[in-house]
């Protein structure tokens, strides 16, 4: 083989060195290259250096992923900063703050209206209605025993005679507010109850 042919041969073998080291040459090519390496110190030295270089690259240190890395990535991608109204809502929406938030929301219009004449009137009427309802509820609570006795005396079951019962409650409250009308004796239905009973029987 002349010098030009020999150089081409070296070049061909050297170009195959990566495939040789990665063991992707065919069996025939592998044998041919090994034969050449056995007789050519230059190519053999090159193959040795290439093998060492690959070994050093493969042994190159790898970083371990820090424990908080994923969290930091998620923080920067999914968990975008909250908008101001979202921050307010997140506080209002907290379960422990919900009753307070609801009361504040109800109070806001009243506070706003309290600054006007109509608003003051509305606030006063609202306040009176609240107090009246509360007082009625208290009276009803204290006279629940009378209600039961009257219903028994009238021979009616309360659930079935709801309308009459409501009338009776109204009369009782009216009696309390107008003491001239004597209250019925315990165990004895009063006049209004009897009238109510008659209406129920007619119905």
Partner 1 sequence: MAPTDNELVVRCLQQDEYAWRLLVERHSHRVLNIAFQFTGKREEAEDLAQEIFLRVYRSLRRFDLTTSFLPWLVRVSRNLCIDEYRSRARERASLVGEEPDPERTPDQGPGPLRNLEKKELEMQVRKGLERLSEELRTALILRDLQGLSYTEIAEALELPEGTVKSRIHRGRMELAQILAPGSGSRDEATEEPTP
Site size for partner 1 (CB under 8 A): 28
Determine, following the binding rule CB under 8 A, whether residue 98 of this chain makes contact with partner 1: no
- Residues 155, 10: Cα–Cα separation, whole Å: 122
Which CB atom, from 24 or from 121, has the smaller least distance to partner 1? 24
Cβ atoms of 29 and 16 within 8 Å: the answer is yes
> How many helices (H) does the chain have, and how many strands (E)?
11, 0
Please, what is the minimum distance in Å from the beta carbon of residue 24 to partner 1?
10
Question: From CA 109, how far away is CA 116, in angstroms rounded?
Answer: 12
CA distance 154 to 85: 61
Q: Is 69 in the site for partner 1 (CB under 8 A)?
A: yes
Window of 10-18, 86-94, 107-115, 182-190 that interacts with partner 1 by CB under 8 A: 10-18
Max Cα separation, the chain? 143
Q: Of 42-50, 90-98, 101-109, 129-137, which part binds partner 1 (CB under 8 A)?
A: 42-50
Interface with partner 1 (CB under 8 A): 14-15, 17-18, 46, 49-50, 52-54, 56-58, 60-66, 69-70, 72-74, 76-78
């Amino acid at each position: 083989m002349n010098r030009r042919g020999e150089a081409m041969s070296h070049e061909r073998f050297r170009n195959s060195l990566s495939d040789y080291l990665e063991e992707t040459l065919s069996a025939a090519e592998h044998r041919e290259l090994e034969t050449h390496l056995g007789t050519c110190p230059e190519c053999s030295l090159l193959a040795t250096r290439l093998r060492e270089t690959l070994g050093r690259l493969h042994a190159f240190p790898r970083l371990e992923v820090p424990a908080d890395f994923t969290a930091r990535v998620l923080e920067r991608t999914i968990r975008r900063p909250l908008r101001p109204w979202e921050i307010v809502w997140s506080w209002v929406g907290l379960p422990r703050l919900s009753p307070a938030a609801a009361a504040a929301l109800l109070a806001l219009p009243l506070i706003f209206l309290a600054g006007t004449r109509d608003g003051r009137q509305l606030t006063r009427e609202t306040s009176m209605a609240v107090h009246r309802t509360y007082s009625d509820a208290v009276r009803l609570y204290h006279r629940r025993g009378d209600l039961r006795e009257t219903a028994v005396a009238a021979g009616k079951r309360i659930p079935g005679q709801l309308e009459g019962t409501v009338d009776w409650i109204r009369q009782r409250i009216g009696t309390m507010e107008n003491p001239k009308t004597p209250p019925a004796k315990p165990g004895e239905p009063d006049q209004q109850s009897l009238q109510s009973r008659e209406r129920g029987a007619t119905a």
